[in-house]
Amino acid sequence: MNKLTNKNIVLGVCGSIAAYKSADLIRRLTELGANIRVVMTQSANEFITPLTLQTLSQNPVHQHLLDCDSESNMSHIELARWADIILIAPCSANFIAKLAHGAADDLLSTVCLATRSPIIIVPAMNNAMWENPATQENIHTLEKREVIRFGPAAGNQACGETGLGRMQEPVQIINNLNEMFQAKLLHGQHILITAGPTQEDIDPVRYISNRSSGKMGFAIAKAAVEAGSKVTLICGPVQRSTPRHVDRIDVRTAEQMNTAVSNFVTQADIFISTAAVADYRPQVTQSEKIKKTSEDLKLELVRNPDILLNVANAANPPFTVGFAAETNNVKENALTKLKLKSLDMIAANQVGNEKGGFDSDENALAVFWPGGEILLPMATKEKIARELIAIVAERFQVSRFSETNPIIKNR
């Protein structure tokens, strides 16, 4: 079955000469079994008729926000809920600006504001409009909000100029959509992820912590959502925006993280422990700020719970993935941890060097599981996260399969 079969797509069409391509796009999408509901902006009418798009999509075209007939047919909220994705092709500079500012003054912008599903824009405009700092700032805002963008392509433009701004061709858009839906490797699974550092209080103003930024854990959470799973992210103190569709729980100390993990772990199919949990905490947290009275100061530290170890050794553990941030002997230390903590997988990286690791945007990982390993060379944390999730998904399926097929497991 095609990846687009039975997918519900709200196709937004804006006012652009490229709107003629929307007709071909609809025809191809319906041939692949997608259900299409077209929402046209007012100016789209100047370029293509609703009748054309209605005939091709085999559904009424939606155009008006405050219209009894349209609302009784399918309201803006119903359209927003119905959509598996909202695809806006062509997407004009004006609509990009409206989307960036959260406008809700017509049907398409209101549906975009009301949806929890991914929004994809396929820009189409003159290259000077595309390059204008106003448009670029709006695009940047949308990227931060995880609006997906296909194109624009470069080449000859209807205005006679050449450059970036052409709407992507329908065939390319369909290839991109197929790739997106293909990625749903973990559909229906619940993934619990920890991220960031923990802070262990010394007194009301001081704590012990580490340099973890949470970037890797957040990138993994995002990749897990893209792969179709429900994601709960338990994070230590980090200033990061929560990826779309991720349930986030903020904690500060290792003990709080441990409690939060035990509250959710029984519902989880997979546990990924990226958090740099402090191994020790002060035995006593002073209730008042410690004064600078003596020449030296001794802090008594006690062990924190090993959250990962506890999860992996619980009665009915999820598929458990640990992280090993090491300054030396990366492979050896990772393999020891994999065994000692009875993990299903461990992802090791070198920290304390110039590139990769804690606060960097890039990382390289060596991933080990009983009987296998794979190296993920230096790349952005987003790319590494997607690759790691693909490996986790594969090993998770294998472990599920061998649990239900003991002959294979015992081989």
Q: Which residues bind ligand C5P (CB under 6 A)?
A: 194, 254, 273, 275, 277, 279, 304, 306-308, 322-324, 337
Annotated catalytic residue 159? yes
CA distance 127 to 160: 11
Residue 389 Cβ vs ligand C5P, minimum distance, rounded to whole Å = 16
CB of 275 to ligand C5P, least distance (A): 4
**Least Å distance between CB 292 and ligand C5P?**
31
d(CA 223, CA 145): 15
Minimum CB separation from ligand C5P for residue 374, in Å?
Answer: 18
The strand pair at 8-13 and 35-40 is best described as parallel
43, 55, 132: which is closest to 91 by C-alpha?
A: 43
Alpha carbon distance 26, 35 (integer Å):
9
Query: Could you say which DSSP state residue 368 is in?
Result: E
The whole-angstrom separation of Cα 86 and Cα 7 is: 11
- DSSP label of 153: E
End-to-end distance of the chain based on CA atoms, in angstroms?
34
Instruction: Using the minimum distance from each CB to ligand C5P, give the nearer residue, 277 or 389.
Output: 277
Contact 74, 47 (CB under 8 A): no
User: Cβ closer to ligand C5P: 150 or 271?
Assistant: 271
Cβ proximity to ligand C5P: between 199 and 273 the closer is 273
In whole angstroms, what is the distance from residue 329 CA to residue 336 CA? 11
Question: Cβ 344 to ligand C5P, closest distance in Å?
Answer: 12
Q: Which of 14, 68, 91, 159 is catalytic?
A: 159
Structure tokens that stand for 362 in this block: 């890039």
Closer residue to ligand C5P (CB): 169 or 306: 306
Q: Give whichever of 191 and 277 is closer to ligand C5P, judged by the CB atom.
A: 277
Cite the active site residues.
159
